[in-house]
Amino acid sequence: MRIGFIGLGSMGAGMAANLIKGGHEVTVWNRSAEAAKALEAQGAKVAASAAEAANGAEVVHNMLANDAAVREVILGSVLPALDRGAIHVNHATISVGLAEELAEAHEAKGIGFVAAPVFGRPEVAAAGHLNMLASGKPEHVAKVQPLLELLAAKVWPLGDDPIRATVVKIGGNFLIGAAIESMAEASALTRAHGVEAKDFLEIMQNTLFSSPIYKVYGGMIAENRYEPVGFKLSLGFKDVGLARAAAEAKRVPMPVASVLHDALLESLNRGDGDIDWAGLARVAAARANLKD
């Protein structure tokens, strides 16, 4: 299948590589051309523009950073370049409002639209073991299903409305952030009473909260290790903002989201926007007058 892949950051590069390994003809584009070199060595064609990557493609995937990038690149360049009947698969975490806008714009041009955001860190993406949400018209999802299965250990179907996968992704990221903030605060509490974060979190990870989120992020907090970055704190702030906006649109109170928003904002003010968002633990420790 002729595939375009837009956005080759820490997640997108591994995903595009798995499509190449699957035997597809993949053309890639990234705002920074340097990111495409490794994929070119693996057999990808490198486009000079997003429009060129989309031209002639049967399916275009994107893994872009935020609403602004998706709106600029997809609505501004990719959609006009796609042939009628092609399908665009969005893997980025975007707002509900933009998902609605994309669905309408694709429908108007006769282009399929599948919302397929993912759960997983860069190493999981590279291994093809993501958990992927998928919603869109059944015929569009069915056509891209074999591609999604190259990228994910499991694809979770969520019906024909692209909004559904979008809001589940937003809700999931909110839960991750809330778990990190809870671990950060609880670790500060135990440290203030002489119990190290490592000891406390090891118990939690193996008793009450034996889950990947507690193991991965709890391990980072226990070691005070926030690099290499799997998910930037600044992106976490963006996604909590998406959750708050979606909640406000339906008048859904989310008081924990407001607490999380303020903690992330405090972290950004400390200059921690580029570390992993497990670095919320630094703010919790600072509030308690504990050293990092």
DSSP 89: E
Size of the chain, expressed as the number of residues it contains: 292
Question: Could you tell me which of 54, 169, 183 has the C-alpha nearest to residue 118?
Answer: 169
109 close to 115: Cβ distance less than 8 angstroms: no
Q: Please report, as a single letter, which amino acid is at residue 104.
A: E
Cα–Cα distance between 175 and 156 in angstroms, integer? 18
Say how many C-beta atoms besides its own lie within 10 A of residue 217's C-beta: 25
Q: What is the distance between the alpha carbons of residues 280 and 216, in angstroms, rounded to a whole number?
A: 14
Alpha helices in the chain (DSSP H): 12-21, 37-41, 50-54, 67-70, 79-81, 96-109, 122-127, 138-151, 162-192, 197-206, 212-223, 233-249, 255-269, 280-287
Q: Which residues face 60 on adjacent strands?
A: 4, 88
- State the Cα–Cα distance between residues 115 and 144, nearest whole angstrom: 11
Catalytic residue among 137, 143, 169, 238: 169
Q: Which of 239, 229, 241 is nearest to 274 (CA)?
A: 229
Tokens of 91: 């893997």
How far separated are the first and last CA of the chain, in Å rounded? 50
Residue with tokens 């989201």: 257
Annotated catalytic, 169?
yes
- Going by C-alpha positions, the residue among 127, 128, 122 that lies closest to residue 155 is 128
Q: State how far the Cα of 45 lies from the Cα of 28, in Å rounded to an integer.
A: 6
Active-site positions read 169
